[in-house]
Amino acid sequence: MSDIHHREIHHLRGTPRSAIRSVRRTHWQTVKDQKSVIQKLAAPLPRKKALQALRRRALAVRRHTTLLTRATFDWLSNYLRFILRSRHPFPVYAGSAEGNGIFPLESQCCIALAGDWGSGTTNAYKVGDAMRGWEPDYTIHLGDVYYVGSREEFDRYFLPEAAWPRGSRGSFALNGNHEMYSGGYGYFERALPQLGLQYKSKPAGQPASYFCLENEHWRIVSLDTAYYSRTLPFLELFDTYFIRLHRAQLDWLRETVFRDAKDLRPVLLLSHHNWYSAFESEYRRLGRELQPYLDKVFLWIWAHEHRFSGYGLSAPAGQGPAVRARCLGHGGMPVELGHHPKRERRLVFSDDRFNADSTREISAVYRKDRLGYCGYAVLLLDGPLLQIEYYDEDNTQLMVEVWENDGSAQPKGSLPVPPERLTKYGEWEELVS
């Protein structure tokens, strides 16, 4: 548990958002290496050596073909082991004042955030070190430990002391779709007991995959949008409909978090999945389920897409109220450039900067790929003021937004440092207006 493990960035390139393909990726490198051996064996030889090598070639190709077939069967066995396994039971809060999922937050504190971080790449560890440099009071992971969030992957790429940065007062992790591809056992049974608030210098454990941190001025509501990511075999390829909130979580929102209709503290909403997107799939069922509370949400930060982007007030057609959003899914996965907006969603910016170091690292395998920067965010709470700062893996400051609680559910926002380094799609003021 003390040592971290490293993955080459090209191993994570193009990681799919489906259980069948993600489990397949656990065997991908072995199969790829075996294919390269076959290609070398099939290369032309000088004529005088051809006859002597023919039998040797045939035997070698047969042997490696057998290994490839065996790897395929290993993957299929692994996939069926994961996909046919029962989903881990959904932990719920007892409902008492001491165990209702709402945790007190200091008036002044620092919270570091990153999403899709559990990859084991050099970029992820750079982000982790940068977050650690803030000496945050709390850290929150927005979900996804690759490839399938198994116990072994948490032990290798997330839980070691030198891996995911821990807050001095507590650390939390949201559930991601990749965690659920193995049934959620690594996340619920291995990770959560080692997270949560610090108690006598030790983590007290994170009781559930959803929680609320609050103080006199702000509420940070963090939801599990990934529990139903894994469905019946192959159906997860069409998972936009299946992504929804567990009934117990909806009850918790209604009966505990938003029970007092007169509570006007602004809500910062955190989740793994995105409600809307200008680039990829939208999970609109989430917006329908959260519709009664969206007028209290001044900002929604999600992950899932491996990019850093920002939106003004937006909502899919026929849904609402509109909500501002930031996509923070670039914590450690390869940020593949060249994707253009597909739909109108009041996209204001996206980080399309070229990262020469990451591109150079991946070019030995994928010569035409161009990669961008990973990064993270820091929340600085100071009474009625909330400052959110966004940085890349090199600790370059990209944007600063400041929110002031004026007694309403929608605080006043300003941009002392607009994201001028990034690709602009709309007016900067849309981010806070």
DSSP state of 191: I
Q: Residue 124 in contact with residue 117, Cβ under 8 Å?
A: yes
- Check residue 11 and give its pLDDT: 72
Instruction: List pLDDT tens digits, range 240-254.
Output: 888 999 999 999 999
* pTM recorded for the entire structure: 0.87
Of the two residues 187 and 51, the one the predictor is more confident about is 187
CA dihedral 127, 128, 134, 139 (to 10 degrees): 120
Determine the straight-line distance between the first and last CA of the chain, rounded to whole angstroms: 46
In 3D space, the residue among 426, 306, 399 whose CA is nearest the CA of residue 358 turns out to be 306
The Cα–Cα gap between 419 and 270 comes to 21
On whether the 97-431 domain is CATH 3.60.21.10, my answer is yes
Question: Residue 157: which H helix or E strand, with range?
Answer: helix 151-157
pLDDT band, very low/low/confident/very high, at 12 (cuts 50, 70, 90)? confident
Determine the average pLDDT of the residues in 260-278: 98
pLDDT band, very low/low/confident/very high, at 371 (cuts 50, 70, 90)? very high
The structural domains of the chain, with segments of one domain joined by +, span: 97-431
Q: Answer whether residue 45 shows pLDDT above 70.
A: no
Q: Residue 174 in contact with residue 271, Cβ under 8 Å?
A: yes
- Check residue 36 and give its pLDDT: 44
Determine the average pLDDT of the residues in 81-93: 85
Instruction: List pLDDT tens digits, range 402-421.
Output: 999 999 999 999 999 999 99
Tell me the sheet residues that pair with 314.
323
Q: What is the torsional sign of CA 92, 213, 99, 167?
A: positive
Token pair, residue 24, equals 């397949």
Ranking 47-56, 90-99, 372-381, 408-417 by mean pLDDT, the lowest is 47-56
Q: Residue 175 in contact with residue 226, Cβ under 8 Å?
A: yes
Quickly count: other Cβ atoms within 10 Å of residue 187's Cβ.
30
The Cα–Cα gap between 30 and 35 comes to 9
Q: Answer whether residue 305 shows pLDDT above 50.
A: yes
Determine the average pLDDT of the residues in 164-174: 98
In 3D space, the residue among 270, 82, 301, 89 whose CA is nearest the CA of residue 178 turns out to be 82
Quickly count: other Cβ atoms within 10 Å of residue 47's Cβ.
7
pLDDT band, very low/low/confident/very high, at 23 (cuts 50, 70, 90)? low
Token pair, residue 409, equals 């559910």
Kind of pairing between the strands at 297-302 and 267-270: parallel
Share of the chain above pLDDT 70, in %: 80
Distances (CA, A) of 346 to 275, 316, 400: 13, 11, 19
Of the two residues 183 and 64, the one the predictor is more confident about is 183
Q: Answer whether residue 72 shows pLDDT above 70.
A: no
Token pair, residue 85, equals 């396994």
